[in-house]
Structure 1
């Protein structure tokens, strides 16, 4: 765990900001699916908040069941019109002893504080997470051949639309979520996938994206042990010329 700098110790403020968004959190179950978290770690997104200003300092707090499963990080705002992402190492999640210790479920609390360039400090609401500590093999992410290097310009996708290829049979659904430049959800849709393991996302959905935003695509299926779960995400950065 990284110790908090003395000048960044949490001070309660009057303004309560929106919850931090844990990007791997399942909207279907409300829980964090550990196999859907990449080895690099869980992404925690801070959406644009009221009064966000260049050179604000944002401090993330991930409080697990012990010191090894807690994590703190800070970042300065460079673009006050765009979301800010933190990555919590997966080793931090794996180190959680459970709540209470020795049980199968971990219950970290995630929040952030803002130390503005000027004015009073602000705090967010707390996002209380649950995830099962036992780890199973992940399902690989979908493939998007037209998104070279993970970059995606919707205006340059020829008709009929953007092709997504799924490496495994999809059980029940796949999910497309578009996030705006401010980090908030613009559009979310679940859809079925046929036996050919591919779908085409048509123009009306592609238009529900924003330059500087992001699209995440996941699907639900059984892994190598035939245990159902959400896949790792395909993450597309939206870049319009």
Structure 2
């Protein structure tokens, strides 16, 4: 059973999601929150598997709530799925940096919403790295520098912790390649690539592949418009 927390300041939105989710045999809603502060408290108290988090809420917004939850849950037992009206909302970037496992538009079809939740529950990220890359290139390429949000995800010093092969794998992850595609490019087994990805995440202190893509751009390992490595 996937335990869910709904965080949105609009009652109608929460009701709509509840109607969809309660019809799924493998999902259970364990609470609702109307702002980020409430979402943080309920999440840390009740330990849901996934928080469906609105970005724009009063008092404490979804970005700050995501940061707080992920900071208090370093082993990623609680995963945050951001809900937004705009797919290029700058707050989405900040939420990804803060530890969110991906984002969905609020007009997502019910089957796609359920599929996304199940994917996140399995430990995957909802936003494909290639899509995250497109969003990052659009924002980073504007010249605004690092992405908005709390803290500093990227530290070039941490790149020194990686072996040459691990840096190479991270670069391919940042360009949206799957493990199978990376294995083909580097003439490695898919299992070996998975091991490299796991080590990269562990050494850099990142939660998932989405944050790995963000890190690769913010650290300068990959630059906007530099093209897919061949």
TM normalised by structure 2 equals 0.30
Larger RCO: Structure 1 or Structure 2 (Cα < 8 Å, ≥ 6 residues apart)? 1
The structure having more radius of gyration, on CA atoms, is 1
* Larger fraction in strand: 1
* Larger fraction in helix: 2
TM normalised by structure 1 equals 0.29
